[in-house]
Amino acid sequence: MFAQTTLHRLAAAVAAAICVLAVFLAFAAPSPGAAQPGHYRVKAGDTLWSIASARYSGDPRAAIDHIRSANHLSDDTIHVGDRLVLP
């Protein structure tokens, strides 16, 4: 009987701790190092390739895919004045 009561109390304490942790994590702010998407205003002569090359390291093709996806672009067409999300 004693062992069973102790186990119930332990289980209740663990469940309460998990609930408190879940509530804490729900309100936790992102770390200062967390990536925040940037924005870019398209200028005359810009292409997705030139923007990706200037803003990202490595192969620009992967960055172009990310930019197109973040901005719901069906192709590489951009226009002067467009505001692009840069993930």
Write down the domain spans for the chain. Answer: 38-86
Query: What pLDDT digit, counting tens, does each position of 7-50 carry?
Result: 778 778 887 777 666 666 666 555 666 567 799 999 999 999 99
Taking the C-alpha atoms of residue 31 and residue 26, their distance in angstroms, rounded to an integer, is 14
Query: What pLDDT digit, counting tens, does each position of 52-67 carry?
Result: 999 999 999 999 999 9
pTM: 0.59
**pLDDT score for 17:** 74
Three-class HEC string of the chain: CHHHHHHHHHHHHHHHHHHHHHHHHHCCCCCCCCCCCEEEECCCCCCHHHHHHHHCCCCHHHHHHHHHHHCCCCCCCCCCCCEEEEC
Would the pLDDT of 74 be above 80? Answer: yes
Evaluate whether the domain defined by 38-86 bears CATH number 3.10.350.
Answer: yes
**pLDDT score for 3:** 67
**pLDDT score for 13:** 80
